[in-house]
C-alpha cells in the first residue's frame, strides 16, 4: 500500500515565472494608427503546467487587440508564448500575465486575452482578461 501512495504523489519539476521570456517580445510600427483596426492571433498549442503537480495544461490562447502605434512581431510572440511551456502557473493567471506583458509592450487602445484550456478531471476552463485604455 505504501508504494501505491508514493506512485500518486509524484510531482514533476516546474519552472518559475522568471522563465517567462518577456525579453523576446518585439514590436513593429503600426502604419494606420487611429484606424480602429482589430487584430486577432490564435495560438492553439499553448501549454503551461500545474504549479502543484507539474502536469501539463493544454489550451487555445486568443489575443485580440486594437493597436495604437505598435504591433507585436509574430515570431517573438510565438517564442514568448512557448516560454510558458514548463512554467507552473494557474490557468486563471496565464491570461492576466500575457495581458500585462502585451499591454506594457504595445500600449494598445484595447486588448483581450482569452484561454480555453482542455478539460482535466472532466472540467474545462475558459478565462478572459480585458484591458481598455
Contacts of 65 (CB under 8 A, 6+ apart): 38, 39, 102, 106, 108, 109, 110, 111, 112
Helix (H) or strand (E) holding 71: strand 70-72
> Which of 17, 3, 26, 12 has its CA nearest to residue 77?
26
Catalytic residue positions, numbered? 50, 57
In angstroms, rounded to a whole number, what is the distance separating the alpha carbons of residues 96 and 104?
12
Which set of grid coordinates corresponds to residue 19?
Answer: 522563465
Amino acid at each position: 500500500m505504501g508504494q501505491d501512495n508514493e506512485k500518486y504523489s509524484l510531482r514533476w519539476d516546474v519552472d518559475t515565472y522568471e522563465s517567462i521570456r518577456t525579453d523576446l517580445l518585439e514590436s513593429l510600427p503600426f502604419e494606420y494608427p487611429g484606424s480602429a483596426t482589430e487584430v486577432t492571433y490564435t495560438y492553439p498549442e499553448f501549454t503551461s503546467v500545474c504549479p502543484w503537480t507539474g502536469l501539463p495544461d493544454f489550451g487555445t490562447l486568443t489575443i485580440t487587440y486594437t493597436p495604437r502605434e505598435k504591433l507585436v512581431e509574430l515570431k517573438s510572440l510565438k517564442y514568448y508564448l512557448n516560454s510558458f511551456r514548463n512554467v507552473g502557473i494557474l490557468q486563471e493567471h496565464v491570461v492576466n500575465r500575457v495581458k500585462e506583458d502585451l499591454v506594457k509592450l504595445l500600449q494598445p487602445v484595447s486588448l483581450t486575452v482569452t484561454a480555453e484550456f482542455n478539460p482535466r478531471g472532466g472540467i474545462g476552463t475558459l478565462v478572459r482578461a480585458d484591458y481598455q485604455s
